[in-house]
Structure 1
């Protein structure tokens, strides 16, 4: 099977910039109390429904979000397309398991996860591929399992041919919360919460609004 072009571009880009990216965004959670509040709320919701459940972060990058959720008491592991990012995450957060993986083809049995986190990772997925990705999230979550997605708000695509002094081909897609919520509904999720916040003043990210959505896998008719 031929790999979609966006996967290769994303993998190669983050392999090239992994170390610089990790250093630049190391303190993102420290500088954003609202992001920490969203993650804490998500952790409490998941733990309440599945006290011993396992979680997965897709597109885990240098691992700081998975490590934060681990500190909140969740049994979480991370996957990322970039082997360089996985290596960094393993060195920096040895108490969390990280592996190379693709969010569109997860190495997890159906219904095996209590929660799934896509923290600024669906921004690299072309719109035509998002329904299949959300269907895959739905497949691996247990009934009543929860999903957290975060992304930049907008309609445009920010393309980089160069980042941190390296040649790359990376697309950062802005998304509308209502459009993402509609796709999640079609995939079988019920929306639990939406937060749209202003950009954090100290963040190194582009100064545009940021969104976080929490959704729950909808019970089956039999359930």
Structure 2
């Protein structure tokens, strides 16, 4: 096209390394003139090198990138929870944390119980099955809670009590639940005791009437 004037904006990063400077407008124009004078250039346009001029149109300030402040890790408190799976057979491979049996059982317990603890406590963070021991099967796991909001032992045990009737992958003996080594009495256990006591009263009354 004939007699077309083109304006081109060239931007430079305003941060430079030592020994570097941002070129002036005239230096930019001179670079283009030199390239036009090169007989081997591949330009597809005919440019009048005498018409090339450079000027500073605008200077933009780029805000420096600020590093994100490091996040402070949450302080967690670990509670050791143990429950007995009555009627299940303990096998020697459960003593080896690298065995297929250990990994499989630990995975099933984690997948089953972790969502229940997550729903029950907003402060819950982790569940790790650490070991198994003999006696049918005792399951030992560490629960991690945000230190500022650790639930009490009864509340932790109650999650297992409420889950017990609905779990088929393993058994939870609600009378054998321990938190940090102390056996925790559950509301369900008390309820069963009251029912048993009521039955005994009724049975005694029936026997007395028969006499």
If the length of structure 1 is used for normalisation, what is the TM-score? 0.23
**Bigger CA radius of gyration:** 2
If the length of structure 2 is used for normalisation, what is the TM-score? 0.24
More strand by share: 1
